[in-house]
Amino acid sequence: MSYPIHRPRRLRRNETLRRLVRETRLSPDNLVAPLFVCGGEGVRREIAAMPGCYQMSVDRLLEECRELASLGVPGVILFGLPEKKDAEGSGASAEDGPVPRALRALRRELKELSLWADVCLCEYTDHGHCGPLAPGPDGRLDVDNDRTLPLLAKAALAYAAAGADVVAPSDMMDGRVGALRGALDQAGRADVVIVSYAAKYASGFYGPFREAAGSAPAFGDRRGYQMDPANTDEAMREVAADLAEGADIVMVKPALAYLDVVYRVKERFQVPLAAYNVSGEYAMIKAAARNGWLDETRVAMEALISIRRAGADIILTYFAKEAARLLA
């Protein structure tokens, strides 16, 4: 394999050849669009740190989803912005909350769209943590793991009843996948798919999301339940545990700063794998492009193909619509 017999540039000479030898593909089939749903009517508020992303009322969300479906995007994942919050995050399972209302409307009209509901309490608690709090042994307030589980299960049941095909727990409590699977099965909903945020890191890249979903913790941070960015063996244990508890698809989050984890999970488990190209990863590209420092389209597509190349089957990304349009 040496020069001059071998000339790797021969296969790079034109796009036709490059297409023929391309190893990794990105298609709209790989994409899931995260969307933020709020109350009211006719609402479409742009999120300052996420240009091109909006908080939408159900009517406007429907329009957005029609467009995504027509572009061939197979799925959306919904995050809710409730009208009021409390210490237990009880709004997460309210039947008339923004997410169940959106699910019912979408289910009626868009039969072919895969409807995912993020399951977490942080958008619904007044303190912004992912479950109810209790003082730990040292007296400091911490999320009460075992009291959170039935609340998550209740939320998942409410979303399934409203029409979700998929529930995606993102709270990182121990045992949540088993709690959801058990509750769904007992309710006769063995059909509902669980996508677990299995390896979810305590990441600064979630910054813009917390503004988008109004879910910033009022004190402290999430390092007591989300993973330490320094760890990957631990990610293997998290994935193994979630699969054992019944996860159908596992997720790594964030994506770009954790491509090694994406690769390792795919190599090791060979199960359907999602990666979440998170708000901060989106915002960085948007901000640089707005300054004329990067070619947005080129960099966004390069980021997405890198996530596929690392081994993700599914990419949750705020670029879903733009990417699907380009790929059409």
> Would you name the residues annotated as active-site residues?
200, 253
Residue 90 CB neighbours (<10 A): 19
3-class SS at 310? helix
120 in contact with ligand PBG (CB under 6 A): yes
Count interface residues toward ligand PBG (CB under 6 A): 13
CB of 197 to ligand PBG, least distance (A): 7
Which residue, 118 or 245, is less far from ligand PBG as judged by CB? Answer: 118
Which residue, 62 or 257, is less far from ligand PBG as judged by CB? Answer: 257
130 in contact with ligand PBG (CB under 6 A): yes
* Binding segment (CB under 6 A) for ligand PBG, from list 93-101, 116-124, 232-240, 296-304: 116-124
Which residue, 58 or 319, is less far from ligand PBG as judged by CB? Answer: 319
* Binding segment (CB under 6 A) for ligand PBG, from list 37-45, 114-122, 137-145, 228-236: 114-122
What whole-number distance in Å separates Cα of residue 254 and Cα of residue 242? 18
CA count, 13 A, side-chain hemisphere, 180: 36
Which residue, 196 or 215, is less far from ligand PBG as judged by CB? Answer: 215
Query: Would you give the end-to-end CA distance of the chain in angstroms?
Result: 37
Q: Is 300 exposed, middle or buried (0-12, 13-18, 19+ CB in 10 A)?
A: buried
209 in contact with ligand PBG (CB under 6 A): yes
What whole-number distance in Å separates Cα of residue 263 and Cα of residue 270? 10
User: Going along 176-231, which residue ranges are E strands?
Assistant: 193-200
Residues that bind ligand PBG (CB under 6 A): 118, 120, 122, 130, 170-171, 206, 209-210, 215, 222, 278-279
